[in-house]
Structure 1
Amino acid sequence: MARIARGEQSVDRAMQVIANAVTVEQLRQAQAVVLPLRFAMSLQQTAQVTGLSVGWVSKLRNQFIQGKEVGDGTVPARGGRRRQNFTPEEEVAVLKPFLEQARKGGILVVGQIKHDLEEALGHPMSLSSVYTLLHRHDWRKLAPDKHHPQSDPEAQEEWKKNSSKRSKRSAKTGKENLSD
């Protein structure tokens, strides 16, 4: 046997919300209260009528009965950045010196940015989080590719000019050229 629906004291207020609802969320929340009490509908039937899941109907009913109406500011809105290290404004403030350095033609290294972000944050952060933050601010890899410190570009060019073009073993077929 199903439990008796609670919230009789909220029905009149829910009827007023239905009459004056501005958003669909407000209407659905009030319907989640009224339908089980006035029309003896189960939560499953109420969920089907409102187009929500049984869990959401139950959640909306309980919030309404507790006095937390959707859209009145007491219930936080869904969405947004829930797991953020910095607010968007703080991110811009922390990255500002690096942006100025880049405008002057300086080389930016992600390791330096990571170190400064960790100091501002107060705990370590992963390198992927740093790259995600940079991507969020439309950055790309700004440091040039590194070259070997003992490389000699002149010697490399000289070798390219004077080396033999192709040995007999490296024919296009990959087999030894026996006709020569």
Structure 2
Amino acid sequence: MKSLIVSDKATISRLAERLKHAESHAQYQRIQCVLIRATLGSSAVEIAQLLGWSTATVHVIHSRWAKEGDAVFELRGRGGRHHQYLSLEQEQALLAPFVARAQGGGVLTVTEIQQAYEQHTGRQVAPSTVYRLLDRHGWRKIVPRPQHSKADVAAQAAFKKTAPSGTPRGRAPG
């Protein structure tokens, strides 16, 4: 069987140095996968058991490393806004008049922002789109407190037990 990984000292030292500077756990494991083969000459089954991977994954990493070299260790990021209508800068520009009004003490409704968003993009969007937009830019819904922070609960309970004078319960027996 042809060896995909050459175990010379230069390759091993380069991989060992790269292992020290791995940016993520996934990148660390990929480097380990190649380094274990280069240093110990372990089989794909043994490496898979060590890393908790399938044997097929180890074969893929070894094959890609033989073809691509160190590029196999560079992982592309996950996620992202792939279906956005506006960029972050365009969203900030859209929210600018609403920010000015809010800083002046004005009340904003999501429907107003949604209408402006739809007019700007030329598409209808769900309210959840606008809520996510506001969350992305650090906005939050402010609601009044259910009770005052300095309220005395004991005094309120005592007040409820005493009836005001002039009411049938508050009259002195007579």
- Tell me which interval the TM-score lies in, with the shorter structure as reference length: 0.5 to 0.7
Post-superposition offset of 1:113:
1.0
- Unmatched segments (≥5 aa) in structure 1: 143-180
Residue in 1 that maps onto 2:32: 31
Instruction: Please state whether the residue corresponding to 1:98 is helix, strand or coil.
Output: helix
1:114: which partner in 2?
114
Q: How many residue pairs end up in the alignment?
A: 133
* Shift in CA distance, 33/94, structure 1 to aligned 2, threshold 3 Å: same
The counterpart of 2:43, out of the listed 41, 44, 50, is 41
Q: What SS class does the counterpart of residue 66 from structure 1 fall into?
A: helix
Matching residue's letter, 1:132: R
Q: Aligned-pair distance for 1:20?
A: 1.0
Establish whether residue 95 from structure 1 lines up as the match of residue 92 from structure 2.
no
Q: Does 1:19 align with 2:9?
A: no
Alignment of 1:155-174 (within 5 A): none
Q: What SS does the corresponding residue of 1:45 show, helix, strand or coil?
A: helix
Pick closer, same or farther for the CA change 1:127–1:15 going to 2, 3 Å: same
- Report the Cα distance in structure 1 between the residues aligned to 2:58 and 2:89, rounded to whole angstroms: 36
- Find out whether 1:135 has 2:135 as its counterpart: yes
How large is the Cα RMSD of the aligned pairs?
3.6
- State the TM-score, normalizing by the size of structure 1: 0.52
Tell me the secondary structure at the aligned position of residue 101 of structure 1: helix
* TM superposition score normalised by structure 2: 0.53
Amino acid across the alignment from 1:33: V
CA contact (8 A) 1:15 1:34 kept: yes
CA distance in 1 between partners of 2:127 and 2:88 (Å): 18
Q: Contact 1:14 / 1:33 at 8 angstroms: preserved in 2? A: no
Amino acid at match of 1:129: T
Q: Structure 1 residues 128-137 or 86-95, which shifts more? A: 86-95
Ranges in structure 2 where 5+ consecutive residues have no aligned partner: 144-174
Give yes or no for contact 1:32–1:57 (8 Å, CA) kept in 2. Answer: yes
Distance across 2 between alignment mates of 1:39 and 1:16: 15
For residues 54 and 92 of structure 2, the distance between their equivalents in structure 1, rounded to whole angstroms, comes to: 40
